[in-house]
A and B are shown apart, each in its own frame.
Chain A
């Protein structure tokens, strides 16, 4: 892709024929067009709006539900990429080109860190799934063919042999197992289905019903994009020489993704180990309060908890020295100093980028805490709204003195899977007088900042 001078493209210039066989793609071939610097930024911003819409809809509703689809369409229609939710446009039109180019531009902006990559990958996959499911059967098949993913269904004989198992794996759809067409593919092609145990496996092969073939696509796309992002990030240093683009690219990810709390330069040095206990009662989100209390009770936290809590503390401005003091004081109530120094201090220093590959790890966002690294036996990390039994959660809320109204609201949203909204109501319940209906809680450090802001506002 060439980035031209500042002059705008004349209106009647011919668009390069894309030659693409389908308006949907998994972005294997980079674009060849020339764009102006202005267009470069514009396309990127528009696609970012689309991806944010997808993310937002995913927080508020279950993916694939009517409400979800409705919200996604509504928000995407507001952008310049509105046409991509339709299934009737050709590959020679402007929208196709913008779709194509904007994806590649965002790759440049989002390949630079693990968190950015993960976010970009997740939204692009969800966007793809949304668009694919809208296509009719014929166009879906065409897409599979174009991408060499068209498989042949298994024979009727084979199907009868494994029919009982097919029906048992289909769960709620067991009645259609009989009439559905099945495809036998290596399990590595449908990892999403394997992970959720939604498919019958035998000797390394998955028996996939026709309707689930999209999973193959998703796995394929995920693997491809993941690899491409890694390659792009390795090639990025060469791009650094172009100082037209770099400031814009880094601005892009910060502006729309929000803060990642990687370095709280303003607060470092202000937070000491002694302050943490009272701060936890006042301004910590429930997930971190929980970890703090578990640590005070057990004088220990398992690895998942140390990571989630340790990085959060770094994000609020706890320096490395204070962090070491804090953890050591607590842990040495149950072990001797030597053991702590040998086995635990390395980890803390690693979190601050002082060991190993010296990466400056960023505190976990709500999305990450809810979706990945679920707590296991003995663990106290995770999101309390997601990872606590309902009756225990309700009890805890009551014990904290949360009013019945708020408790009911929080429990309702928790039951519906809207954990971040439940957290927001928890915030409202514990910070009386606050009224900001449109603010979502996306990050534990954001919760902390909002809370501190609230209390300092009150003082004035």
Chain B
């Protein structure tokens, strides 16, 4: 095996044509977005947008079938592909339709979790950077949201994708989800949101009912199971005075907060600062809560844990029926990594740093093709893209089960002429 090639954005114009010719999984992709061809116009009325070289952006692309889509993508070699809504008419014809009549009608329900939104609570990175110390935030986000989407909302067809740099996306493809109105999407997104507040709201979580909604209890269980490892060991979130102050500022009960401040300054935490500080914090709070005259929040510790870990999703991404979101299997221009599907049940085994870049994959393809003359193997199965493509394949097959049933019914009724 040759050394792994390092990715250089300048080489994209050379690499993308090969990627789009040999590796992009058009077949599966089309099977997904066609949704069994019911109605027939579902695929042809879907909007795609392309970002070409030099930031040229073109909207309202649409295709008659898989073949036309393949041809167009291979011809243009877009740096980025976005998937939009299914419209009332073919997007490429939108100028021939009266503006008011050209409407976005359906689209998958989508979620975008971006690591930048956690900058105020991570100590290791900021902005577009991620590392193995803050990646657990994504693991927590996927676990919490996937559970809720499945168990609370009954959504069965959820496609999770790594965005290639600093976050994850979720595409919910059930029919109910695709038909949701803007109001419906906002309702789902707000149900899933707990972290609320802009730059001038320091405390972003307040649990103030005497009982917790089952969604919150379930989410807390997931957070609690991972909190120690993430916040104490990886983030060292109580590791110095400044960070300790930040955590304590989330405690609204003044007496409790001042007592803890004194506690922290008087004790000397030599090593394992966060570990000791967290234990001190927990014990003190528990003791305080059991006192008769305690009037503060019952959920002090929970609120701290949630503020540091709970998923931060951008409601604006989820609420628009016509909102465009980056397509799975494109290449992230800045990192060169492919936007690969992830199995949410195996999120703990997923390593974003190990996601292959386009240069690495093409390198793999080269070396394999020299050795392997079995032309029957699909190209992507020869590379490290194999596993993620299998995740995608399972997702598509599960979707296809849902319209197989319908197909059978149509066959039967055709035979007996009963409707």
The segment from A58-66, A72-80, A377-385 found at the interface with B is A377-385
A192 at the interface (CB under 8 A from B): yes
Contact with A along B185-224 (1 / 0, CB 8 A): 0111011000111111111100001111111110000000
Once bound together, how far apart are the Cα atoms of A158 and B220, in whole Å? 26
Interface string of A324-342 (1 = CB under 8 A from B): 0000000000000000001
- Tell me whether B176 and A204 are in contact (CB under 8 A): yes
Query: What residues of B have a CB within 8 angstroms of the CB of A187 in the complex?
Result: 153
Check if B215 sits within 8 Å of A201, measured CB to CB.
yes
The stretch among A4-12, A15-23, A168-176 that forms the contact with chain B is A168-176
Interface contact A380-B180, CB-CB below 8 Å: no
Q: Which residues of A contact B196 (CB under 8 A)?
A: 374, 376
Q: Shortest distance in angstroms between A369's beta carbon and chain B's nearest beta carbon? A: 12
Cβ–Cβ contact B187 & A172, under 8 A: no
Verify if B90 is at the interface (C-beta below 8 Å from A). Answer: no
Does B116 make an interface contact (CB < 8 A)?
Answer: yes
Interface positions of A from 121 to 177, Cβ below 8 Å from B: 165, 167-172, 174
A279 close to B (CB within 8 Å): no
Contacts of A168 in B (CB 8 A): 211-214, 217
Closest B residue to A162 by CB, please name it: B214
Q: Which residues of chain B are within 8 angstroms of A200 by Cβ–Cβ distance?
A: 213-214
B154 contacts chain A at the CB level, 8 A cutoff: yes
Measured CB to CB, the closest approach of chain B to A417, in angstroms, equals 15
- Chain A residue, CB-CB nearest to B152: A201
> 1/0 contact trace for B134-154 toward A, CB 8 Å?
000000000000000001111
* Cα(A239)–Cα(B190), bound, Å: 39
Q: A266–B270 Cα gap in the complex (Å)? A: 68
Interface size class of B (residues with CB under 8 A): 35 or more
Taking CB as reference atom, which chain B residue is nearest A233? B100
Q: B198 contacts A342, CB within 8 Å?
A: no
Asked whether A375 is an interface residue with its Cβ less than 8 Å from the other chain, the reply is yes
Assembled-state Cα–Cα distance A389/B209 (Å): 20
Contact of B198 with A375 in the complex, beta carbons under 8 Å: yes
A219–B187 CA distance with the chains assembled, in angstroms: 11
Cβ of A223 under 8 Å from chain B: yes
Asked if B184 lies at the interface with its beta carbon under 8 angstroms from chain A, I say yes
Interface centre among A197, A294, A374, by most chain B C-beta atoms within 10 angstroms, is A197
Whether A387 pairs with B312 at a CB distance below 8 angstroms is: no
Contact of A222 among B183, B190, B212 (CB under 8 A): B183
Q: Does A234 contact B (CB under 8 A)?
A: yes
Cα distance A58–B9 in the bound complex, in angstroms: 55
Q: Once the chains bind, are A195 and B198 in contact (CB under 8 Å)?
A: no
Q: Which of A171, A196, A378, A388 contacts B116 (CB 8 A)?
A: A378
User: Across the two chains, which residue of chain A brings its CB closest to B103?
Assistant: A230
Q: Chain A residues with Cβ under 8 A from B214's Cβ?
A: 165, 168-169, 200
- Best-surrounded residue of B181, B191, B199, B312 (most CB of chain A within 10 A): B199
One of A195, A223, A373, A377 near B312 (C-beta < 8 A): A377
Tier of interface size on chain A:
35 or more
B412 at interface by CB-CB < 8 Å: no
Chain A residues with CB under 8 Å of B203's CB are 389
B35 at the interface (CB under 8 A from A): no
**Is residue A402 within 8 Å, beta carbon to beta carbon, of the partner chain?**
no
Any A CB within 8 A of the CB of B155 = yes
Interface residue B120 (Cβ < 8 Å from any Cβ of A): yes
Given contacts A377-B120, A377-B198, A381-B198, contact A194 B188 (CB under 8 A): yes
Q: Would you call B292 an interface residue if the criterion is a C-beta within 8 Å of the partner chain's C-beta atoms?
A: no
Output the nearest chain A residue to B198 by Cβ-Cβ distance. A375
Q: Is the CB of A171 within 8 A of B197?
A: no
B152 touches A195 (CB 8 A): no
Q: Mark interface residues in A193-223 (1 if CB within 8 Å of B CB, else 0).
A: 0111100111111000000000000010011
A125 to chain B, nearest CB (A): 12
Structural contact, A169 and B213, CB atoms closer than 8 A: yes
Q: B101: which A residues are within 8 A, CB to CB?
A: 234
Q: B395 near A: Cβ within 8 Å? A: no
Bound-complex Cα distance A178 to B191 (A): 24
Residue of A nearest to B155 (CB): A204
- How far, in angstroms, from A11 to B203 measured CA to CA in the complex? 64
The reply on A392 being an interface residue by CB < 8 A is yes
In the bound assembly, the distance between CA atoms of A170 and B195 in angstroms comes to 21
Within the assembled complex, what's the spacing in Å between the Cα atoms of A201 and B187? 13
A265 contacts chain B at the CB level, 8 A cutoff: no
In the complex, A191 has a CB within 8 A of chain B: yes
**With A and B bound together, what is the CA distance between A205 and B198 in angstroms?**
32
CA distance A393 to B384 in the complex (A): 53
**Given the complex, which residues of A lie within 8 Å of B188, measured CB to CB?**
194
A180 in the interface (beta carbon within 8 A) = no
- Complex Cα distance, B198 from A171, in Å, reads 27
Contacts A387-B201, A388-B201: A188 and B154 contacting too (C-beta < 8 A)? no
A377 touches B117 (CB 8 A): yes
20 contacts between A and B (CB under 8 A): A169-B214, A171-B213, A174-B211, A194-B191, A197-B215, A201-B191, A203-B152, A219-B183, A222-B183, A223-B183, A226-B183, A375-B199, A376-B314, A377-B119, A377-B204, A377-B312, A378-B116, A378-B119, A382-B198, A389-B203
* Partner-B contacts on A (CB < 8 A): 165, 167-172, 174, 186-188, 191-192, 194-197, 200-205, 219, 222-223, 226, 233-234, 290, 294, 303-304, 342, 357, 373-382, 384, 387-389, 392-393
Q: A195-B190, A290-B200, A388-B200 are in contact. List 11 more A-B contacts (CB 8 A).
A: A172-B209, A186-B176, A201-B215, A202-B151, A223-B183, A226-B181, A374-B197, A377-B117, A377-B118, A377-B312, A389-B200
